[in-house]
């Protein structure tokens, strides 16, 4: 089965609409900072015949799939195995001072969700891995086995926004003393057993814990905090950046970063705004855009998306 049959890119038309003024004509360069299975990349390369695309991904499985999918565009394509906070180094390594467009589609890719052996899905039994790059780093099982109760409580509360964080952390520490917790099935059973009956109907008890473990294993928030400013620095005047987030912690980071570069730096009370105080970017969206009812029905993975975009209006001071 082809990748395009397995995966529907989220907000594809809206992303292209926002990026098109910057990448749609001439020999432009766009960075897909979260390449995944290459759905957004394929659409951009098909529609804009002079466009050159740089695709980044930390997941070697995703890069393999995308390389096959995009093989017919090989003369207009560079693929780089890196976490997206390596965007500045990737652009520099290709001899570029700036790029015309950047797309971030954050969260878990279809490659990771649809392959049960990766351990991202609480609905399927698999080893507790959750690494987006399986060549390096600790696994979710390592976190469960080595973090103390306070550390587990913190990540469940902060990264999962889980109100039963303390209860779940305590139960995990107790159960791992009896036998290692190495599979999603065992962890889910522990969480279900620890959830009061009155709360078990409010949603799957593992959802927020699995989100928290994934964020911790992949350092997602710290990576994003570094990546967005570096990406903004790489955008040429007239260039655009589009970011899709899937949970509030990510969206908050993106919102703050975009607010910083779209706000005047003029001191309060200055009668005239000097050119050097003018914002470097302007927002292209009013707040965060969400998927339409039609898109959510067609593609359930679009349900939590929050899209923000901006355009560089002047060079760096």
> Which positions make up the binding site?
38-40, 57, 84, 105, 112
**Which phi and psi (to 5°) does residue 223 adopt?**
-60, -45
Per-residue 3-state assignment (H helix, E strand, C coil) for 154-195: HHHHHCCCCCCHHHHHHHHHHHHCCCCCCEHHHHHHHHHHHC
Cα 153 to Cα 87: distance, rounded to the nearest angstrom: 32
**For 217, how many CA atoms within 13 A lie in the half-sphere containing its CB?**
28
d(CA 8, CA 16): 14
Inter-residue contact 5 to 42 (CB < 8 Å) = no
Angle made by CA atoms 51, 53, 56, in degrees to the nearest 5: 170
Measured CA angle at 59 (ends 55, 61), to 5 deg: 100
Q: By three-state DSSP, how is residue 235 classified? A: strand
At 66 the three-state DSSP class reads helix
d(CA 187, CA 290): 32
Burial class of residue 203 in the structure, from the number of CB atoms within 10 Å of its CB (0-12 exposed, 13-18 middle, 19+ buried)? exposed
Is 244:306 a contact under the CB 8 Å cutoff? yes
Instruction: Tell me the binding residues for S-adenosyl-L-methionine.
Output: 38-40, 57, 84, 105, 112
Dihedral class, residue 282 (left if φ above 0, else alpha if ψ from -120 to 50, else beta): beta
């Amino acid at each position: 089965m082809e990748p395009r049959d397995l995966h529907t890119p989220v907000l594809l038309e809206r992303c292209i609409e926002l990026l098109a003024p910057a990448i749609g004509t001439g020999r432009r360069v766009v960075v897909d900072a979260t390449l995944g299975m290459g759905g957004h990349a394929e659409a951009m390369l098909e529609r804009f015949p002079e466009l050159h695309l740089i695709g980044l991904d930390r997941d070697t499985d995703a890069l393999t799939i995308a390389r096959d999918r995009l093989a017919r565009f090989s003369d207009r394509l560079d693929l780089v195995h890196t976490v997206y906070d390596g965007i500045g180094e990737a652009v520099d390594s290709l001899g570029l001072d700036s790029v015309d467009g950047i797309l971030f589609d954050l969260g878990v890719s279809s490659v990771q969700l649809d392959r049960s052996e990766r351990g991202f899905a609480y609905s399927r039994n698999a080893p507790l891995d959750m690494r987006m790059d399986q060549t390096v780093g600790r696994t979710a099982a390592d976190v469960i086995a080595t973090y103390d109760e306070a550390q587990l409580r913190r990540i469940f509360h902060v990264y999962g926004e889980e109100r039963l964080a303390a209860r779940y952390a305590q139960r995990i520490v107790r159960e791992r003393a009896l036998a290692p917790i190495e599979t999603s099935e065992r962890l889910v059973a522990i969480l279900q057993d620890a959830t009061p009956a009155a709360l078990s109907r409010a949603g799957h008890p593992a959802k927020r814990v699995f989100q928290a473990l994934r964020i911790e294993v992949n350092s997602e928030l710290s990576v994003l905090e570094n990546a967005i400013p570096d990406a903004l620095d790489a955008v040429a005047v007239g260039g655009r950046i589009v970011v899709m987030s899937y949970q509030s912690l990510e969206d908050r980071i993106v919102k703050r970063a975009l607010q910083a570069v779209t706000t005047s730096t003029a001191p309060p009370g200055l009668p005239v705004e000097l050119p050097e105080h003018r914002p470097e970017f302007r927002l292209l969206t009013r707040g965060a855009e969400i998927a339409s009812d039609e898109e959510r029905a067609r593609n359930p993975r679009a349900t939590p998306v929050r899209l923000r975009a901006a355009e560089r209006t002047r060079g760096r001071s």
